[in-house]
Structures are given as structure tokens and as C-alpha cells.
């Protein structure tokens, strides 16, 4: 079993739809990251959170530490949101704050 799992693996949505991507992890963490990787390969950090909820524009990230679960929501989705969304967890009882990456969720938003 992977230490960080994401669902769904692939997602196709119509423009304007509300999108949810889920992340579950099995290790102790100090922070959870949501990253966005565009088709060209570049990665952008969207959120880093350790509790509660954060919002940036149309993106909302939540985390439930007790349930070891996080969700990334996209409101009013747009074709430019098409990308791979990666959940990563950091920290815990390791020699340094190792970051463990999930496999990613590939999102395609069609007009």
C-alpha cells in the first residue's frame, strides 16, 4: 500500500463543474502540499497546510488530520485548470522533513 494515495486517478469534467480531488496518507506528517503540474512538466506549489482549510481564488484545500485525509476543490472549473494535481506529505519521524508524493490525479476540463 502506498503511503500517499489519490483519487480519482483520472478525471474529466465539463467547464464550470465543481471538482474534488482526494488524498489519503498513512504516515505522520507535519504538513501536506498540493502541487499542480502542467503538460510541459513544470510544477507549481498551490497550498501547504497543516490544519483546517485554505482558499486561493477558485481553489480550496482542506485537511482532516485525525482522518489523514485532504481534499482539493476547484470551483467553476475552466479548461486552463487541466493539469496533474499532486498531493505530497512532509515531515514526521524521519531524519529530515522528507516529502512523499502521491501518484497524481490527471484532470481534463473540456469546454
Partner 1 sequence: DGGITQSPKYLFRKEGQNVTLSCEQNLNHDAMYWYRQDPGQGLRLIYYSQIVNDFQKGDIAEGYSVSREKKESFPLTVTSAQKNPTAFYLCASSIASGASQYFGPGTRLTVL
Stretch that binds partner 1, among 12-20, 63-71, 72-80, 99-107 (CB under 8 A): 99-107
**Residue 49 contacts partner 1 per CB under 8 A:** no
For residue 53, the 8-state DSSP code is: E
Q: In angstroms, what is the minimal distance from the CB of 11 to partner 1?
A: 15
Using the minimum distance from each CB to partner 1, give the nearer residue, 47 or 81: 47
Distances (CA, A) of 109 to 8, 24, 27, 28: 14, 23, 32, 33
**Residue 74 contacts partner 1 per CB under 8 A:** no
Q: Which residues are near partner 1 by CB under 8 A? A: 2, 4, 30-31, 33, 35, 40-45, 48, 86, 88, 90-91, 96-104
Amino acid at each position: 500500500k502506498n503511503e500517499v494515495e489519490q483519487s480519482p486517478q483520472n478525471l474529466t469534467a465539463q467547464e464550470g463543474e465543481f471538482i474534488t480531488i482526494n488524498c489519503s496518507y498513512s504516515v505522520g506528517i507535519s504538513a501536506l502540499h498540493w502541487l499542480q503540474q502542467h503538460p510541459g512538466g513544470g510544477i507549481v506549489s498551490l497550498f501547504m497546510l497543516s490544519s483546517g482549510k485554505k482558499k486561493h481564488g477558485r481553489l480550496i484545500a482542506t485537511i482532516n488530520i485525525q482522518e489523514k485525509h485532504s481534499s482539493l476543490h476547484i470551483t467553476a472549473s475552466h479548461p486552463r485548470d487541466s493539469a496533474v494535481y499532486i498531493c505530497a506529505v512532509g515531515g514526521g519521524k524521519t531524519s529530515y522533513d522528507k516529502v512523499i508524493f502521491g501518484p497524481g490525479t490527471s484532470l481534463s476540463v473540456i469546454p
